[in-house]
DNA sequence: GTTGTTTTCAACCGATTGGTTGACAAGGGG
DNA sequence: CCCCTTGTCAACCAATCGGTTGAAAACAAC
């Protein structure tokens, strides 16, 4: 997933209304009107939100007469998870490595390998 | 994770420079100046980015003399993964259910054993 | 073919964003 | 003690964002 794609996808999910729409779409495809119904904002505002989600690749929209069917693209969500988890795991791995080093300093298993600075606190 | 927290976290990651900073921090804590070094923007701009990440809960900043140590909070990334995966899995589950229904309609394996509201398990 | 439904387009508005520069606060090192 | 490094605060600017209203496009239905 390229940088500007991540930009758009994260930005798309940085809005509660759009996350609501994503939640709604996990129950099945819907038209723009159906998606707009729960909100008291204008239909045009929801239409804009859907366009943002579409440009971000999070939903696809297919024409069905004068209606538009909006479909959640779960694969794009998977791309986001990949990015986040890569960094989350890297940070956790580094942390556990640090803890291991600290533990080793605290209780040196092989006494001879303890350099002069090795001190029990 | 509450709505406005998700707002801030997703928005924080919707910027390439801030994602870069998160990547850098997986290698270990860093000062503001160290984080700013690779970029040709002003130090103040990077300082603002770090503040955005901090407000979003993605990093923590501790004072160390006149320097500030910036630390990646992997737990916050985990919160984002939870939100995304919940919806991703819901959508995929619905999709595979739909596929199963369609396959069943296409080739009804045991015509008599399929009740109207059909539950095989 | 006129009417009604669904949705987008276009222009506008106030708030927020990412960037700048200038000033200054907080400390460490000569 | 003086100054130099590190970083934030404050004000400003152009661009983007989420919302509005009004108009029009696309199509079904009568």
Is A74–B84 a contact, with Cβ atoms under 8 angstroms apart? no
Number of domains into which chain A is organized: 2
Written as six digits, the tokens of B63 are 């004072």
A80 shares a domain with A65: no
| Contact between residue A21 and residue A65 where contact means Cβ atoms under 8 Å apart | no
A48 shares a domain with A16: yes
Written as six digits, the tokens of B78 are 């985990």
Q: What's the pLDDT at B82? A: 93
A67 shares a domain with A10: yes
- Each residue of A14-47: pLDDT tens digit? 999 999 999 999 999 999 999 999 999 999 999 9
**pLDDT for B92 beyond 70:** yes
Average pLDDT over chain B, rounded to an integer: 85
Is A74–B81 a contact, with Cβ atoms under 8 angstroms apart? no
Is B22–A77 a contact, with Cβ atoms under 8 angstroms apart? no
A99 shares a domain with A51: no
In chain B, the residue whose alpha carbon lies closest to the alpha carbon of A95 is B28
A83 shares a domain with A50: no
Residues A68-94 have a mean pLDDT of 90
Q: What's the pLDDT at A93? A: 77
Nearby residues of A46 by Cβ (< 8 Å), 6 or more positions away = A17, A21, A32, A35, A36, A39
A48 shares a domain with A7: yes
A84 shares a domain with A43: no
Q: What's the pLDDT at A22? A: 96
A90 shares a domain with A67: no
How many residues in chain B?
A: 121
A88 shares a domain with A42: no
| Residue B64 touches partner A, C-beta closer than 8 Å | no
Residue A59, in any domain of the structure: yes
| Contact between residue B77 and residue B58 where contact means Cβ atoms under 8 Å apart | yes
- Each residue of B40-87: pLDDT tens digit? 999 999 999 999 999 999 999 999 888 999 999 999 999 999 999 999
Q: What's the pLDDT at B87? A: 92
Name the residue with higher pLDDT: B76 or B103.
Answer: B76
Q: What's the pLDDT at B119? A: 43
What gap in Å lies between CA A19 and CA A14, rounded to an integer?
Answer: 8
**pLDDT for A118 beyond 60:** no
Average pLDDT over chain A, rounded to an integer: 85
Residue A118, in any domain of the structure: no
**pLDDT for B121 beyond 60:** no
Protein footprint on strand D: which nucleotides are under 7 Å from a CB? 5-10, 17-23, 25-28
Residue B69, in any domain of the structure: yes
Residue of B79, B84, B95, B99 best to disrupt the A interface, most CBs of A under 10 A: B84
**What Cα–Cα distance (Å) separates residue B3 from each residue in A19, A61, A72, A105, B113?**
9, 26, 20, 43, 46
Q: What percent of chain B has pLDDT over 90?
A: 66
A65 shares a domain with A92: no
Residue B49, in any domain of the structure: yes
Look at A92-96, A110-114, B74-78, B91-95 and tell me which has the smallest mean pLDDT. A110-114
Residue A115, in any domain of the structure: no
Q: How many CA atoms lie within 13 A of B76 on its CB side?
A: 21
What gap in Å lies between CA B72 and CA B29, rounded to an integer?
Answer: 7
**Torsion sign, CA atoms A91, B81, A74, A80:** negative
In the structure, what pLDDT confidence band is assigned to residue B100 with cuts at 50, 70 and 90?
Answer: low
Q: What's the pLDDT at A7? A: 96
> The tokens 């804009």 sit on which residue?
A48
Cβ of B33 < 7 Å from strand D? yes
Residue A33, in any domain of the structure: yes
Backbone angles phi, psi at A47, to 5 degrees: -60, -40
Element (H, E) at B61: strand B59-64
Residue A112, in any domain of the structure: no
Protein footprint on strand C: which nucleotides are under 7 Å from a CB? 4-10, 17-23, 25-28
- Percentages (nearest 5) of helix, strand, coil residues in chain B: 60, 10, 30
CATH assignment of the domain containing B29: 1.10.10.10
Residue A98, in any domain of the structure: yes
Residues A51-70 have a mean pLDDT of 94
Which nucleotide shows the minimum CA-to-C1' distance to residue A43?
A: C7
Query: Which domain range does residue A32 map to?
Result: 3-74
């Amino acid at each position: 997933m390229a940088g500007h794609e991540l930009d758009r996808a994260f930005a798309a999910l940085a809005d509660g209304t759009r996350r609501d729409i994503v939640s709604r779409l996990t129950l099945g495809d819907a038209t723009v009107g159906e998606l707009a119904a729960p909100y008291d904002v204008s239909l045009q505002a929801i239409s804009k939100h859907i366009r943002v989600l579409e440009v971000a690749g999070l939903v696809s929209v297919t024409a069905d007469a004068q209606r538009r069917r909006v479909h959640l693209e779960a694969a794009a969500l998977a791309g986001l998870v990949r990015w986040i988890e890569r960094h989350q795991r890297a940070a956790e791995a580094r942390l556990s490595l640090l803890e291991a080093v600290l533990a080793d300093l605290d209780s040196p298993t092989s006494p001879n390998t303890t350099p002069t600075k090795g001190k029990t606190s």
